[in-house]
């Protein structure tokens, strides 16, 4: 680098200084000239707030804790508590809940989201639990492949995020009865004073609303910072903004990762009959009555109740 940059004070003068003095000048932001046309061509060394770098170093362990930690917690919870079964079993009558388009945009966002989480874990934290056990060549290939997948699936993720946020927000507005849902943990506890409690819920329950708004807000942060990181020359951010974007991207990914694991467990293992909604768009009548009673009563009253033929 030093051979490619001639400092404004003169190369001969700098050469007379000791290495320590040169290093000190560079750290203080010494500038010079070069044939490069980069925005930061005259700044040989990045200067960052060290506190920002310390936050960056916490991202990998936090992501590992958010992913594997939540999985362990849910497995233990299911072992102790069991799942939320339908009190009256399956009715066999399937109620229309989601359109085919809604189901499609759900998976448009969900599948890329899962791929982003998996590749993101590998890129950010793989050096701790993958790299030590494989060769350098294999590690390099793995990182390269993960980076390519991560960059490509970012675009369908953003498309799914945008469509879900815009089209579904109307059913995700908080209501007063949502407070009671949280107070009894949604009726998913099978012991103690919470057993058998099934709080009121509309089209979306309070937990689903919390997940939706977390996804909407932090998905926006992930998308914006992701574009800055993908196209630094297009947006021309400062080096500090690029680093802050990386940190905000990582923090948002950690939050989305934790919520995604909760969402997956709640929709599959925890709620009997829940997964069917995002497979066919229909739900069992007893599931609708037990978990979304206000919505089920509403569509019965207004005549929009529709069964699968």
Helix axes 50-64, 239-265, angle to 10 degrees: 20
What pTM value is reported for the model? 0.80
- b/e 62-96 (16+ beta carbons within 10 angstroms → b): bbbebbeebeeebeebeeebeebebeeeeeeebbb
Please state which of the ranges 114-123, 235-244, 279-288 shows the lowest mean pLDDT. 235-244
Q: How confident is the model at residue 63 (pLDDT cuts 50, 70, 90)?
A: confident
Whether 233 shows a pLDDT value over 80: the answer reads no
The percent of residues in the chain predicted with pLDDT above 70, rounded, is 83
pLDDT tens digit sequence for 179-198: 999 998 888 888 877 787 78
Of the two residues 136 and 23, the one the predictor is more confident about is 136
CA distances from 250 to 42, 63, 124, 229 (A): 29, 8, 9, 12
CA neighbours closer than 13 Å in the CB half-sphere of residue 172: 16
pLDDT tens digit sequence for 14-31: 445 466 776 677 667 666
Helices and strands (H, E) in the chain, number of each type: 13, 4
Contact 87, 290 (CB under 8 A): yes
Which residue segments constitute the domains of the chain, with CATH numbers given?
1-47 (no CATH), 49-301 (1.20.950.20)
Whether 33 shows a pLDDT value over 70: the answer reads no
What region, left, alpha or beta, does residue 22 occupy, with left being phi > 0 and alpha being psi -120 to 50 degrees? alpha
């Amino acid at each position: 680098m030093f051979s490619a940059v001639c400092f404004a004070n003169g190369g001969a003068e700098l050469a007379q200084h000791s290495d320590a003095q040169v290093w000190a000048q560079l750290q203080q932001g010494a500038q010079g000239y070069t044939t490069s046309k980069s925005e930061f061509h005259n700044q040989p060394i990045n200067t960052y707030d060290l506190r920002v770098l310390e936050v960056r170093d916490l991202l990998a362990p936090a992501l590992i804790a958010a992913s594997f930690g939540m999985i362990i917690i849910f497995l233990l919870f299911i072992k102790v508590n069991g799942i939320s079964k339908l009190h009256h079993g399956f009715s066999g009558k399937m109620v229309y809940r989601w359109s085919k388009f809604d189901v499609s945009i759900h998976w448009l966002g969900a599948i890329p989201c899962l791929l982003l989480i998996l590749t993101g874990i590998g890129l950010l934290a793989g050096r701790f639990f993958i790299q030590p056990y494989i060769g350098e060549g294999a590690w390099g290939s793995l990182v390269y492949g993960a980076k390519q997948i991560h960059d490509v699936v970012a675009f369908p993720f953003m498309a799914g995020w945008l469509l879900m946020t815009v089209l579904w927000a109307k059913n995700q507005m908080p209501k007063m009865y949502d407070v009671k849902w949280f107070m009894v943990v949604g009726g998913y506890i099978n012991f103690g004073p919470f057993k058998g409690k099934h709080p009121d819920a509309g089209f979306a329950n309070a937990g689903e609303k919390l997940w939706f708004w977390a996804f909407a807000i932090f998905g926006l942060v992930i998308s914006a910072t992701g574009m800055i990181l993908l196209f630094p020359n297009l947006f021309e951010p400062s080096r500090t903004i690029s680093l802050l974007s990386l940190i905000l991207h990582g923090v948002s990914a950690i939050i989305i990762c934790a919520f995604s694991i909760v969402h997956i467990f709640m929709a599959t293992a925890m709620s009997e009959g829940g997964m069917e909604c995002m497979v066919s768009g229909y739900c069992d009548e007893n599931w609708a009555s037990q978990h979304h009673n206000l919505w089920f009563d509403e569509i019965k009253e207004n005549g929009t109740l529709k069964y699968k033929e």
